[in-house]
Amino acid sequence: MKKYIFVTGGVCSSLGKGIAAASLGSLLESRGMRICMIKVDPYLNVDAGTMSPYQHGEVYVTDDGAETDLDLGNYGRFTSSGLSKDHSITTGQIYQQVIKKEREGKYLGKCVQVVPHITDEIKSRIYRLGEKEDIDVTIVEVGGTVGDIESIPYLEAVRQMIHEKGKGDTLSVHLTLVPEVTGGEVKTKPTQHSVKEMREIGIQPDVLLCRCKNELDNDLKKKISQFTNIDYDSVLSAHDVNTTIYEIPVIYNEQGLCEIVVKKLGLKVGKAKLGAWLKVAESYKGAKKTVNIAMVGKYIELADAYKSIDEAIIHGAIANGVKVNIIKIDSERLENGVSPEEVFKGVDGILVPGGFGQRGILGMVYAARYAREKKIPYLGICLGLQIMVIEYGRNVLGIEKADSSEFKPDGKTNVVTLLEEQVDVTAFGGTMRLGLSKSKLEKGTKIEMAYGEPEAWERHRHRYEVNNDYKEQLMAKGLVISGYTPDGSLVEAVEWSDHPWGVSVQFHPEFTSKPVKAGPLFRDFVKASIK
Ligand code: GLN
């Protein structure tokens, strides 16, 4: 029998529903279950690709080039479940499909409604994945907070699925907040109300994960259990961790989350193999040395804007047995007269991440120049590569106005230009060069040493590329072109010669990095930064 777990959130957003869902996935995987992770998002965008990182955090890209919610990144880091465009469902997709069917006459004669047509479309997409032969348990994370108008059709679909499949094959896990008020008193009322709200919709949660500052004591658990109709041993304390989020599966495991789920769903599981997670948590906790990595970006006010890069740097630190302090630097600061010496005081490595649009570009160019001249390890990702090439063009080749067509569409000396395939593109959604592809790596380069083989498979998300007309000039002046597309037509990676470690890539290595196996570039970048 195929099993389904629905993870919902209450009281407020940003409680870590994605990490809770992903942790549960990792625990089930560690017991040999074959899992499927799905995120359903209540917004009307067809995908996250057109949303600003300020609005919604990072856009996570899957192998098949879907631009998805960042929670899929958590699934990718915590589990080895397959992720594709089908695993990120939005209200926009659902309505688009239902309206298309209506125009095609598929509902001929009927009045098309939220219930049953929208809810049926939601259910069919979840069942399509969950009923696959190689899947035992499907975890569906419902975006938003219970009580949001937009979430109602999803929760109704969940209620129907629980009814259709029956209690033994479905499970509702609800994540809420148990806040501490002034004076230190811990309050359960918001949680009581949140569960009440779930029950009004017709869903009785089976497991409650209570987000709280300090571990929840038994009396409070008893009280919550009584008021919410949830078994006492299924009320768990999801207290703050002060080390790394990769300890969360271990903490949940210690509280018996997996046993509860296994019992309630009647799963036939093997013995838990949590070794890799324990090692990650121990390695992080045991680290003595700390490296300081500066990330020079333009969306730094929002903590989640560079989520996968933050995590990948941490993976690099774990791989090297050190702690890492990520210092987010608004590139515009460097443009406003603050000297790089001051900005980068005490910094061991500089990273320039991806981004779009003109704002803040000059500050990034200053950062790249500083890293090159002061021989500080540098990792450039996507825009970070383009910045490295622009900087080289301006300051080494002496092309004063070297630029990118993104920032100067009619520039005469653009060392970065629009990809040929992008020239006629007019619509924005899902039209970039997206998804997984192979890069050929040049022998003896730093990137080839990092990957340990002559090729790298990574995901892309960009419209602009190094202008091949400048390739010879750049190389003649010492810029190493260390990676190409297999046909040799596009530059995929560059590095500085005569520099300890300055590597940039056109792809996004952060999307495939995991705590248990750091992305090779992050591992080597952190390693170079330790020295
Ligand atoms: N804006 C650049 C491009 O479109 C870089 C994209 C990115 O960093 N993801 O090519």
CATH number of the domain to which 409 belongs: 3.40.50.880
**What pLDDT is stored for residue 160 in this prediction?**
98
**508 annotated active-site:** yes
How many Å lie between the centroid of ligand 1 and the Cα of residue 393?
A: 18
**Other Cβ atoms within 10 Å of 345 Cβ, number:** 11
Same domain? For 183 and 86 the reply is: yes
Are the CB atoms for 211 and 176 separated by under 8 Å? yes
Question: Distance between alpha carbon 173 and the CA centroid of its chain, in Å?
Answer: 22
Cβ-proximal residues to 201 (8 Å cutoff; 6+ apart), any chain: 146, 152, 155, 156, 159
Same domain? For 275 and 294 the reply is: no
- Single pTM value for the model: 0.94
How many Å lie between the centroid of ligand 1 and the Cα of residue 465?
A: 9
In this structure, which residue's CA is closest to atom 9 in ligand 1? 354
**What pLDDT is stored for residue 489 in this prediction?**
95
Same domain? For 254 and 344 the reply is: no
User: Could you give the C-alpha distances from 14 to 161, 175, 302, 339, 469, in angstroms and in order?
Assistant: 26, 11, 12, 36, 47
How many Å lie between the centroid of ligand 1 and the Cα of residue 360?
A: 14
**What pLDDT is stored for residue 13 in this prediction?**
85
With the CA atoms of 186, 192, 193 and 199 taken in that order, what torsion angle do they form, in degrees rounded to the nearest 10? 160
Same domain? For 23 and 132 the reply is: yes
Same domain? For 321 and 253 the reply is: no
How many Å lie between the centroid of ligand 1 and the Cα of residue 69?
A: 18
Show the ligand 1 pocket: residues with CB < 6 angstroms. 354-356, 382-383, 406, 461-464
CATH of the domain at 245: 3.40.50.300
**What pLDDT is stored for residue 159 in this prediction?**
98
* End position of a domain, from candidates 279, 302, 325: 279
Atom of ligand 1 nearest to the CA of 406: 1
**What pLDDT is stored for residue 275 in this prediction?**
87
Same domain? For 341 and 267 the reply is: no
**What pLDDT is stored for residue 323 in this prediction?**
94
In this structure, which residue's CA is closest to atom 7 in ligand 1? 354
Catalytically annotated residue among 87, 117, 174, 508: 508
Atom of ligand 1 nearest to the CA of 353: 8
Catalytically annotated residue among 212, 382, 465, 499: 382
Cis omega (within 30 of 0) for bond into 500: no
Which phi and psi angles does 77 have, rounded to 5°?
Answer: -80, -35
Are the CB atoms for 354 and 508 separated by under 8 Å? yes
376/432 Cα distance (integer angstroms): 32
Which phi and psi angles does 274 have, rounded to 5°?
Answer: -105, 10
**What pLDDT is stored for residue 426 in this prediction?**
85
Which residues on adjacent β-strands are paired with residue 294?
327, 350
Are the CB atoms for 460 and 437 separated by under 8 Å? yes
Same domain? For 92 and 237 the reply is: yes
Structure tokens at 31: 């017991």
In this structure, which residue's CA is closest to atom 3 in ligand 1? 462
**What pLDDT is stored for residue 277 in this prediction?**
87
Same domain? For 129 and 261 the reply is: yes
Same domain? For 265 and 331 the reply is: no
* End position of a domain, from candidates 279, 307, 333: 279
In this structure, which residue's CA is closest to atom 6 in ligand 1? 462
* End position of a domain, from candidates 230, 253, 279: 279
**193 annotated active-site:** no
Same domain? For 240 and 296 the reply is: no
Same domain? For 115 and 143 the reply is: yes
Q: How many domains does the chain have?
A: 2
Domain residues for 256? 3-279
Same domain? For 32 and 67 the reply is: yes
Structure tokens at 415: 């060392």
In this structure, which residue's CA is closest to atom 5 in ligand 1? 383
**Other Cβ atoms within 10 Å of 398 Cβ, number:** 9
Mean pLDDT (10-residue bins), the chain, 531 residues: 96 90 96 97 91 86 95 96 96 97 94 97 97 97 94 97 96 97 92 96 96 94 96 94 86 91 94 87 89 94 92 96 95 92 96 95 97 98 98 97 96 94 86 95 97 97 96 97 97 97 98 96 98 84
57/48 Cα distance (integer angstroms): 9
